[in-house]
């Protein structure tokens, strides 16, 4: 039986008297891919930020790999691609990732090169990121999430800007990671991503998480 990687209990987040996340209860298990669908402003990106420890919670708790997150602390063995990547346009992809890797000193040069190659970029490319296309920048964002070999991967619209071949490559990569017991959470507007990749699917609307086809306030699951 797959062990729990993330346990969320009664998560509630309010900003300026607006409810952003409303009484969310969710368990994420090892080696599964989870899909979260919802419209703009539904709360799906905020949920990923909460799991990353990037939100102060109004109430409730989030446990990642057995550790309860305190407000504003990033969990171990976790990487993410969120809506505001911090890559620097004046540097190459390799230098960008090298700078990020120096923060925790976990990823070595070979790990960085491997991650860049996995997403279909060239780690020897001397062009700076400002000369990259939107799709290439997105690949660089995914590479930075992979270089430290996380056990939990959170991806907010990871296919944005990618062409069809690149989408197929990233899908294959995510399925390979799943087969290596990596837990993955993705948000996507592309129903095909959800259909191909996800073992379990949730929908979120006005901060309320439910089954993709239901209205239960308690989380239920649609599994393959």
Asked whether residue 160 falls in the same domain as residue 217, the answer is yes
pLDDT tier at 57 (50, 70, 90 boundaries)?
very high
Instruction: Verify that 171 and 221 share a domain, yes or no.
Output: yes
Residues linked to residue 21 through DSSP beta bridges, in sequence order: 13
The answer on 163 and 69 residing in a single domain is yes
Please give the pLDDT value at position 223.
Answer: 42
The stretch 176-198 carries a mean pLDDT of 94
Average pLDDT over residues 180-188: 96
Looking at the structure, tell me whether residues 97 and 138 fall in a common domain. Answer: yes
Q: Do residues 136 and 104 share a domain?
A: yes
On whether both 55 and 98 belong to a single domain, the answer is no
Q: What is the DSSP string of 36-91?
A: EE--TTSSHHHHHHHHTT-S--SEEEEEETTEEPPTT-PPTTEEEE-SS----TTS
Mean pLDDT of the chain: 91
Number of domains into which the chain is organized: 2
Position 70 pLDDT exceeds 90 = no
Query: Which segment of 128-137, 177-186, 204-213 scores lowest on mean pLDDT?
Result: 204-213
Contact 28, 34 (CB under 8 A): yes
Q: Can you give the CATH number for the domain in which 176 is found?
A: 3.40.50.300
DSSP state of 79: E
Q: Could you tell me where the DSSP H helices lie in 105-183?
A: 109-118, 134-146, 164-179
Residues 155 and 107 in one domain: no
Q: What is this structure's pTM?
A: 0.91
Range of the domain at 73: 1-77+150-224
* Same domain? 165 vs 216: yes
Q: Residue 84 pLDDT > 70, yes or no?
A: no
Q: Which residue from 180, 221, 194 is spatially nearest to 35, judged by alpha carbons?
A: 194
Out of 92, 122, 148, a domain closes at 148
168 and 144 within one domain: no
Residues 70 and 13 occupy one common structural domain: yes
The reported pLDDT for the residue numbered 198 is 96
């Amino acid at each position: 039986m797959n062990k729990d990687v993330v346990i969320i209990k009664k998560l509630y987040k309010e900003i300026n008297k607006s409810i952003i996340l409303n009484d969310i209860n969710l368990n994420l298990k090892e080696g599964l891919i989870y899909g979260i669908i919802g419209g703009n402003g539904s709360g799906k990106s905020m949920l990923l930020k909460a799991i990353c420890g990037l939100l102060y919670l109004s109430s409730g708790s989030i446990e990642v790999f057995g550790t309860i997150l305190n407000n504003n602390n990033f969990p171990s063995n976790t990487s993410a691609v969120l809506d505001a990547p911090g890559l620097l346009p004046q540097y190459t992809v390799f230098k960008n990732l090298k700078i990020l890797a120096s923060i925790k000193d976990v990823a070595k040069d070979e790990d960085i090169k491997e991650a860049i190659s996995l997403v279909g970029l060239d780690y020897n490319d001397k062009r700076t990121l400002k000369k990259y296309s939107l799709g290439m920048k997105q690949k660089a964002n995914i590479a930075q999430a992979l270089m430290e070999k996380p056990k939990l991967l959170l991806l907010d619209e990871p296919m944005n800007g990618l062409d069809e071949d690149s989408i197929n490559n990233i899908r294959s990569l995510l399925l390979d990671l799943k087969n290596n017991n990596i837990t993955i959470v993705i948000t996507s507007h592309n129903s095909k991503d959800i259909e191909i990749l996800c073992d379990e699917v949730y929908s979120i609307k006005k901060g309320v998480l439910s089954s993709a086809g239901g209205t239960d306030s308690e989380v239920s699951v649609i599994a393959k």
